Amino acid sequence: DVKVTQSSRYLVKRTGEKVFLECVQDMDHENMFWYRQDPGLGLRLIYFSYDVKMKEKGDIPEGYSVSREKKERFSLILESASTNQTSMYLCASRSRTDQYTGELFFGEGSRLTVL
Amino acid sequence: AQRVTQPEKLLSVFKGAPVELKCNYSYSGSPELFWYVQYSRQRLQLLLRHISRESIKGFTADLNKGETSFHLKKPFAQEEDSAMYYCALSTSYGKLTFGQGTILTVHP
Substitution target from A104, A108, A110 for chain B, most B beta carbons within 10 A = A104
Predicted local confidence at residue B92, as pLDDT: 66
Q: Tell if the CB–CB gap between A90 and B98 is shorter than 8 Å.
A: no
Q: How many degrees, rounded to 5, is the angle at CA A24 between CA A22 and CA A29?
A: 135
Q: Which of B91, B21, B46, B24 is nearest to A2 (CA)?
A: B46
Q: Tell if the CB–CB gap between A104 and B96 is shorter than 8 Å.
A: yes
- A19-52 pLDDT per residue, tens: 999 999 999 999 999 999 999 899 999 999 999 9
B93 interaction partners in chain A (CB closer than 8 Å): 99
Q: Tell if the CB–CB gap between B46 and A58 is shorter than 8 Å.
A: no
Task: Provide the pLDDT confidence category of residue A2 given band limits of 50, 70 and 90.
Answer: low
At A112, is the secondary structure helix, strand, or coil?
Answer: strand
Q: Tell if the CB–CB gap between A99 and B95 is shorter than 8 Å.
A: no
Query: How does DSSP classify residue A85?
Result: G
Nearest to A101 among B6, B32, B100 (CB): B32
Query: How does DSSP classify residue B16?
Result: T
- B29-87 pLDDT per residue, tens: 888 899 999 999 999 999 998 877 788 899 999 889 899 999 999 999 999 999 999 99
Predicted local confidence at residue A1, as pLDDT: 67
For residue A110, give how far its alpha carbon lies from the nearest alpha carbon of chain B (Å).
11
- A75-99 pLDDT per residue, tens: 999 999 999 999 999 999 998 877 6
For residue A40, give how far its alpha carbon lies from the nearest alpha carbon of chain B (Å).
6
At A100, is the secondary structure helix, strand, or coil?
Answer: coil
Nearest to B90 among A41, A100, A109 (CB): A100
Nearest to A45 among B43, B92, B97 (CB): B97
Q: What is the DSSP annotation of B41-52?
A: TS--EEEEEGGG
- A3-24 pLDDT per residue, tens: 999 988 999 999 999 999 999 9
Predicted local confidence at residue B2, as pLDDT: 86
Q: Tell if the CB–CB gap between A108 and B99 is shorter than 8 Å.
A: no
